[in-house]
Every structure is written in structure tokens, then in C-alpha cells.
Structure 1
Amino acid sequence: MKAILKIIFIVFLTIYSCKTKQIEKTEPKTNAPKVEFSVYDLGKSDLPKLKRQVNDYEFVFTMEQLEKLTLMIREFEKNTTNQIAIVSIESIGKYSDFDKFAVDLSNYNGIGLKEKDNGLSIVFSTNLRKIRITTGFGTEKILTDKICKNILDQTIIPELKNGNYYNGIEKGLTEIMAKWK
């Protein structure tokens, strides 16, 4: 009888320890929170509702970098009323065109004052290796497509290619702000 109890006890411990090891293996190893958009966040579209000036859904920036970018944008908005949003996104959901996704995301979130149409967003995905600067019609009078393309090609993209995401976005943002006053 004691032998049977010992065998049952050993089997129980073996099964319990296997389950514990399995749980340990599946836990995330980073401190970054998992990004999942609920139906409420997405609404009736495949676009997230942006909650701040810098929305880092890919976790490419440190907290300090997020704070610096946010302060730059807030100070600029306070002085000019121009609104800027930066979004890093892992996927574009049901969209097949990144540019259309970036424009729709900006419009859906109402970046810029409605009466001035003075919004600008920088939407990028390290996962998809895509980036787009979108501008409102009021913004486009100053920051033309050609100017935005030059900022992307000459300032932001070279840094992104080297994995310097913060440097690229910060330098591009600085250049945008200098031209958009």
C-alpha cells in the first residue's frame, strides 16, 4: 500500500513540475506590455484610437525618449497650434496599402485643428519597413509632399536603416518643426 502511495505521489510531482516548467517557458521575457487593441479601441474600423502625441505600439523607444519627443511636440503645439502625432505600428491589419492606412489613421484620429487642418503624423513600422508622413491640407501648403519626401529620404530613413529609431524620428521632427513655423 505504501509503495502505491509513493508511486502516485511521484507521478503527481512529475506532472505538477512539468506544468510549472511549461508556464515558466511561455511567460514573456520582456517588461514591455503586450499591445492588443480591443474592439473598443478599434471601434468600427481597423484603426487604433491614438491616446497621446507619441504612440509607440512597437516599443522602439525608451520611456525617456518617449518623454523627450512628447515634450518637443507639446511645446511646438503650444507655440504654433500645429498638431503632430508619431505612431509606430506593428501591422496595418486588414489594410493592404501602408500609405492609405497612415492617411486614414490620421483622419480617423482628427490630428490637427479642424478649422486650420494643421495636422501632421509620422507613421512607421519597423516590422513592415515602411514610413509615411501625412499632412492636413493646411499643413501641406507649407510642408509640401516634396519637402516631406526629402526629410524622409535624407534625414529619417538613413537613421532607421541603422536601427537608430529615436535619432531618425527626433532629427526629422526637428527639421519639420523648423520648416513649419
Structure 2
Amino acid sequence: MKKSIFKLIFIVFLTICSCKTTQIEKTEPNSEPTKVEFTQFDLGAIDLPKLKRQVNDFESVFTVEQLEKLTLKIREFEKKTANQIAIVSIESIGKYTDFDKFAIDLSNYNGIGLKEKDIGLSIVFSKSLRKIRISTGIGTENILTDEICKQIIDQTIIPEFRNGDYYSGIEKGLTELIAKWK
């Protein structure tokens, strides 16, 4: 009996000694935005992320202040018109091979625009892939045609992107889209 108690104490001692402890250091709060990442494993079979807000910066292109400014601009516009806008920066299109198809499917999957009116617009871009697409709902494309969207991309957004200023490109493009959509 004494041997079994001794063995038990010895096993408990070994167990306690083999457990490692780590000390958590206190750090200052991070002023950088939390990088939201997902992989193809997080996306599942559909390969499309669920958008949670008006500006979804999966590629961490914008600062917190820039995200707030873009979000505020979109929310003010949505209150006045009921039109919906989403901005998405994306690092990868997963299993997709066509960026335009990805952008359209992403908008449809997330229901950008009211379902019965289909009055939505999404700006999907990738800094790393060097691609951009403005997708419009059926109710929107009567006003913001493919030609208008292409013109805004080519003449307003892309020149800013070439200078490395993604925020200015998106902000100026968004301003033009809103002005033409009213």
C-alpha cells in the first residue's frame, strides 16, 4: 500500500514538473488595425468570405481612420438613398481563376443591395493581385453602367493606386460613384 501511494505521489510530481508555464507580458494596446485573414480552409466549399461591414479590409490596406471615414461616407449615403455599398480588399480569390467572377459572386453571396430592388454596388480590389472590379446590382446598372464604372476605375482609382495611395483611389472613386448614383 505504501508503495502504491509513493508511486502515485511520484507520478503526480512528474506530471507537475513536466507542465510548462509561460508568462504573459503586458504590452501597450496595438494602434494598428487587427489584420483579418482567412485561408481557403476558412472559406469552405463556397470560397467566399462573409462580409461583416461596409468596408471589409481583408488585405489590411487602410488605417483605422481611413476605414472609419469610408464607412461613415457609405452610411450617410445609405441613409439618404437606401442604396447599399460594400468595399472589399482581398488578398486571394481562393479557388477562383477569374477575379471578375469572384467579385460578382462575392456581392451576390453577401446580398449587397436590397433583394427585391437589387440596388447595391461593391468595389472589390486586391493590391497583391493588382485587380479591381466594381459590381452593380440590376437596379443600379441602369444608372451606373459598365462604361461609367470602367471610366471611374481607369481615370480616378487606378492613377491613385499606381502612386501607392489605395485610400485616395477608393475614396475618390466612391465619391464619384455616389455623385452619379444620386
Q: Residue 113 and residue 41 in structure 1: after superposition, are their counterparts in 2 closer, same or farther (change >3 A)?
A: farther
Alignment of 1:4-15 (within 5 A): none
Give the structure with the larger helix fraction. Answer: 1
CA drift of 1:115 comes to 1.1
Q: Residue 139 and residue 65 in structure 1: after superposition, are their counterparts in 2 closer, same or farther (change >3 A)?
A: same
Q: Residue 94 and residue 38 in structure 1: after superposition, are their counterparts in 2 closer, same or farther (change >3 A)?
A: closer
Larger Rg: 2
Distance in 2 between residues matched to 1:57 and 1:42, nearest whole Å: 13
* Correspondence for 1:122: 123
- Deviation readout 1:78-108 (Å, 9 max, x if unpaired): 0000000000000100000000000000000
Q: Confirm or deny that 1:167 pairs with 2:163.
A: no
Number of positions where the alignment pairs a residue of Structure 1 with one of Structure 2: 152
What TM-score does the superposition give when structure 2 sets the normalisation length? 0.79
CA drift of 1:42 comes to 2.9
Distance in 1 between residues matched to 2:41 and 2:115, nearest whole Å: 24
Alignment of 1:22-61 (within 5 A): 31=32, 33-37=34-38, 42-61=43-62
* Correspondence for 2:78: 77
Aligned residue for 2:122, secondary structure, equals strand
One-letter code aligned to 2:155: Q
* Correspondence for 2:12: none
1:41–1:49 CA contact under 8 A, matched in 2 = no
Identity among equivalent positions (%) equals: 79
Distance in 2 between residues matched to 1:86 and 1:157, nearest whole Å: 15
**Structure 2 gap segments, 5+ residues each:** 1-30
**Structure 1 gap segments, 5+ residues each:** 1-29
What root-mean-square deviation, in Å, do the aligned CA atoms of Structure 1 and Structure 2 show? 1.8
CA drift of 1:35 comes to 3.3
Aligned residue for 2:49, secondary structure, equals coil
| Greater shift in the superposed pair: 41-50 or 94-103 | 41-50
Q: Residue 80 and residue 55 in structure 1: after superposition, are their counterparts in 2 closer, same or farther (change >3 A)?
A: same
Distance in 1 between residues matched to 2:40 and 2:166, nearest whole Å: 29
Q: Confirm or deny that 1:178 pairs with 2:179.
A: yes
